[in-house]
Structure 1
Amino acid sequence: MPTGPAGAAQENGPSPARAPLFVSDYGNNRVVRLPAIGDSPSTVPLDGVVRPTGLAWDAARDLYVADTGNNRVVKVVAKGGEQSTVPTVGLSRPLGLAVDVHGTLYIADSFNDRVVKVPADGGGQTTVPTTGLLHPWGLALGAGGDLYISDFVNDRVVKVAADGSGQTTVPAVGLSQPTGLALNAAGDLYISDSGNNRVVKVSAGSGTQSTVPTTGLSDPLGLALDGRGGLYVADGLNNRVVRVAETGGDQVTLPASGLNTPTGVAFPPADKAVG
């Protein structure tokens, strides 16, 4: 299959991504904005961020960043770019983030072995009812509000049902240190299986597991989907972000030099233009 620069059309591959993609550049203490082809990457103006990891957006296009080294989550508002700290209590190494349709922020509070949520009005942090988590990492929310959590040390992904019926384990075999998660519109779940240097897909409905065809991944971390057939992988130890088709293949490396352990990747809301 032909390959080319990110954003270039490729036969049988994903259509060019909507821009921009945001990347948490863990080792450089910054978040990078990767725009459409022809423009240069830029750094999001953030104050005092140390070892950023998870990224998430709300419907208003406000950006949330897990400021892991400072045990906090910061918010950058879409209009004016003002930065604030999300009101939380007792976070220890926060990693993955997710925001639901009501604006509630979910945080994988890794070293506390829990997931917490903070409502949009900042009205008080609560703990999501889970069982047996050890260093939860990635989060993803299904269309119906089900919460998926990558349980890093336990080599599994769990689902917490929105209807309150409890926690179940996603039927995935052979995972080792799962990290990033992403869900497509069909409900298929993508998992960064970091210890096995691969990305796996668990199909909605059937629960069939498959490995997404990729080349040369080393410690894949964050995942993002562009809604146009493209899957984006923060390829941590290779200091790059790659794009492949959701079905695999057509792999390209995005033009972003100088990354140091990219960890999180996220697109703004699809129906809004950013930057």
Structure 2
Amino acid sequence: AVPAVKPPPLSTEEEGVPPLPEAGWRAQRLKAVEIIGEMGTGVGEFNAPTGIGVDLHGSLYVADSNNHRIQRIMPTGDVFVFGSKPGNANGEMWGPMDVAIDPDGQSVFVAEQGNQRIQCFRYTGQYVGVMGGFSRPSGVAFDPEGMLWIADSGNQRVLRLNTKTGQFIGGMDKNAGLHRPTSLACDAFGNVHITDSVLMNVLRYSYSGKRLGGIADNRKLRNPGQIAVDGFGRIYIAETDADRLHVFDLRANSIATFDRLSTKQGNLSRPYGVALSSNGDIYVSDTGNHRVVRLAWE
């Protein structure tokens, strides 16, 4: 079972706030460069893909939610399926919502809303272990220190887990201003960014739980899904109800949006997931169109 985690109190002090990169990105444009998959149940096909992740070797992991599995798509084009079958036994899946790969690329963690748990697999697909006690867990992400953050949505909290020891070492809950955390991402500056589907915002905290701001404090995002942050401090948000990817800087300035591929390929439809590769590729799970789209900066 997951122990109760009492977050540190909110602080108004500015000491210890990591320096932010310079803001002021000029308006930029994104373009679609590849479409991956289509609707179906076969290998390499999807049914409502949600959270996605990329490992250090460039393999793309997709939470193929309504097919109740994870698919790993390697740079060679080969596809490997995680999840022996739909179900609630160890190694089976029901409604996987998100996936995170550890910094070594050896272990894969899956947030399963249907089974209210987090499962761990080797990158080869071998089942390793399970942790329960969550309520609708919807997001998982590693920070630069190798700790796993979990968005325990139904319990109105996020937890920070040392996966080597199995110990929880921090987190935040509704006392820190969270209502329904759904996804999270950690940047290189000591911040964790958390989407909240009730507040329609992306909140920024220090690892110790200090609230540092929000992307949409003065406006509302339209049902933000998964987020990712690159090394320049650009925050990529899958804005699901707006059918677009929205990019901000750390000062909450909007610097780019993307919603349309081409006349032939159509628009994004209820995108949920977003992930970044080490070589700069941007992946978006185009959930309503049952595919993943790879983007690049023009």
Q: TM-score, normalised by structure 1?
A: 0.79
- Structure 2 Cα separation of the partners of residues 64 and 16 of structure 1: 30
Closer, same or farther in 2 for the Cα pair 1:171/1:245, shift >3 Å? same
Pick aligned residue for 1:13 from 10, 19, 24: 24
Closer, same or farther in 2 for the Cα pair 1:114/1:224, shift >3 Å? same
Please say if residues 147 and 159 of structure 1, whose CA atoms lie closer than 8 Å, have aligned partners that are also in contact.
Answer: yes
Question: Aligned partner of 2:268: which letter?
Answer: L
Aligned to 2:257: 253
Closer, same or farther in 2 for the Cα pair 1:196/1:60, shift >3 Å? same
- Structure 2 Cα separation of the partners of residues 170 and 138 of structure 1: 14
Closer, same or farther in 2 for the Cα pair 1:206/1:155, shift >3 Å? closer
Residue 272 of structure 2 is aligned to residue 269 of structure 1: no
The 5-angstrom pairing of residues 129-144 of structure 1 reads 132-144=133-145
Pick aligned residue for 2:100 from 98, 101, 123: 98
Identity, % of aligned positions? 25
Aligned to 2:190: 187
- Structure 2 Cα separation of the partners of residues 95 and 206 of structure 1: 25
Residue 121 of structure 2 is aligned to residue 118 of structure 1: yes
Pick aligned residue for 1:73 from 47, 70, 73: 70
- Structure 1 Cα separation of the partners of residues 237 and 139 of structure 2: 13
The unaligned stretches of length 5 or more in structure 2 are 1-21, 39-43, 85-90, 262-266, 283-293
Aligned to 2:80: 84
**Runs of 4+ off more than 3 Å:** 14-17, 39-42, 213-216, 270-275
The unaligned stretches of length 5 or more in structure 1 are 1-10, 18-35
Aligned to 1:158: 159
Please say if residues 228 and 236 of structure 2, whose CA atoms lie closer than 8 Å, have aligned partners that are also in contact.
Answer: yes
Closer, same or farther in 2 for the Cα pair 1:100/1:15, shift >3 Å? farther
Closer, same or farther in 2 for the Cα pair 1:184/1:75, shift >3 Å? same
Please say if residues 213 and 247 of structure 1, whose CA atoms lie closer than 8 Å, have aligned partners that are also in contact.
Answer: no
- Structure 2 Cα separation of the partners of residues 169 and 113 of structure 1: 20
Structure 1 residues 193-245: Cα deviation after superposition (integer angstroms, max 9, x where no partner): 11111010002356234222464411111001121121011111111110111
Question: Aligned partner of 1:85: which letter?
Answer: V
Structure 1 residues 130-189: Cα deviation after superposition (integer angstroms, max 9, x where no partner): 5x3101001111223211110111111111124526225523523222111100012210
Please say if residues 158 and 181 of structure 2, whose CA atoms lie closer than 8 Å, have aligned partners that are also in contact.
Answer: yes
Please say if residues 15 and 229 of structure 1, whose CA atoms lie closer than 8 Å, have aligned partners that are also in contact.
Answer: no
Please say if residues 213 and 249 of structure 1, whose CA atoms lie closer than 8 Å, have aligned partners that are also in contact.
Answer: no
Q: TM-score, normalised by structure 2?
A: 0.73
Closer, same or farther in 2 for the Cα pair 1:16/1:265, shift >3 Å? farther
- Structure 1 Cα separation of the partners of residues 27 and 276 of structure 2: 13
Question: Aligned partner of 1:84: which letter?
Answer: F
Pick aligned residue for 1:222 from 195, 208, 226: 226
Closer, same or farther in 2 for the Cα pair 1:165/1:138, shift >3 Å? closer
- Structure 2 Cα separation of the partners of residues 99 and 219 of structure 1: 25
Give the superposition deviation at 1:251: 4.2
Aligned to 1:58: 55
Please say if residues 57 and 64 of structure 1, whose CA atoms lie closer than 8 Å, have aligned partners that are also in contact.
Answer: yes
Aligned to 2:36: 44
- Structure 1 Cα separation of the partners of residues 182 and 119 of structure 2: 17
- Structure 2 Cα separation of the partners of residues 147 and 112 of structure 1: 19
Give the superposition deviation at 1:16: 8.0
Closer, same or farther in 2 for the Cα pair 1:58/1:15, shift >3 Å? farther
Residue 173 of structure 2 is aligned to residue 174 of structure 1: no
Q: Which sits farther off after the overlay, 138-147 or 181-190?
A: 138-147
